[in-house]
């Protein structure tokens, strides 16, 4: 018997969402992720790390007149969602997050043991 693993069931019941554009930059200390979440206030931003999965979710909150009729919509859904798989050398317990003017900045440091070390070469 091969170890057959059933395909993970996608959460199909989840509401549809926009995929926000992101930049991901890595340097020796960790990974920095920027996500454009225009219209999302701090209270409606949800960040979650579960095992090795990072989920970014935000709801757009605009002041819209009650009787407004939309005539042209390029942002056609009221929420953003994007999921990333983190790699082992990252330390999800020390994720830092800032939200300013609709831009989320996440910094995910590398775990201590994964920090780069210079290996000294001994001359014998």
Partner 1 sequence: MMYRSLFPRDILAELDRLQREMQQGFHLSPSIRGIARGGFPAMNVGGTTQSVDIYAFAPGIDPATLDVQIEKGVLTVAGERKLDEAGEEATLHIDERFAGRFRRVVTLPDDIDPNAVGASYRNGVLRISIARKLSAQPRRITIE
Report the nearest approach of partner 1 to the CB of residue 92 (Å).
Answer: 17
The answer to whether 90 touches 108, Cβ cutoff 8 Å, is: yes
Dihedrals phi, psi of 42, to nearest 5 degrees? -55, -40
The sign one gets for the Cα dihedral 68, 71, 72, 78 is: positive
The neighbour count for residue 14, using CB atoms within 10 Å, is: 9
The C-alpha atoms of residue 45 and residue 112 are separated, in whole angstroms, by: 28
Structure tokens at 8: 């993970």
For residue 111, the minimal CB distance to partner 1 (Å) is 18
From the list 6-14, 22-30, 48-56, 90-98, the region that binds partner 1 by CB under 8 A is 22-30
Closest to partner 1 by CB, 23 or 52:
23
**Interactions with partner 1, residue window 68-87 (CB under 8 A):** 68-77
Binding residues for partner 1 restricted to 101-120, rule: CB under 8 A:
101-103
Question: Where do contacts with partner 1 occur on this chain (CB under 8 A)?
Answer: 16, 18-28, 31, 34, 36-41, 61-65, 67-77, 100-103
């Amino acid at each position: 018997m091969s170890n057959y693993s059933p395909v993970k069931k996608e959460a199909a019941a989840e509401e549809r969402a926009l995929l926000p554009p992101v930049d991901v930059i890595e340097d020796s200390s960790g990974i920095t992720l920027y996500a454009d979440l225009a219209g999302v206030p701090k209270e409606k931003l949800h960040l979650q790390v579960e095992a090795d999965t990072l989920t970014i979710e935000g709801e757009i909150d605009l002041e819209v007149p009650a009787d407004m009729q939309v005539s042209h919509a390029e942002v056609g859904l009221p929420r953003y969602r994007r999921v990333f798989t983190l790699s082992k050398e990252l330390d999800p317990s020390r994720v830092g997050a800032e939200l300013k003017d609709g831009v989320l900045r996440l910094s995910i440091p590398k775990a201590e043991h994964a920090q780069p070390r210079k290996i000294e070469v001994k001359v014998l």
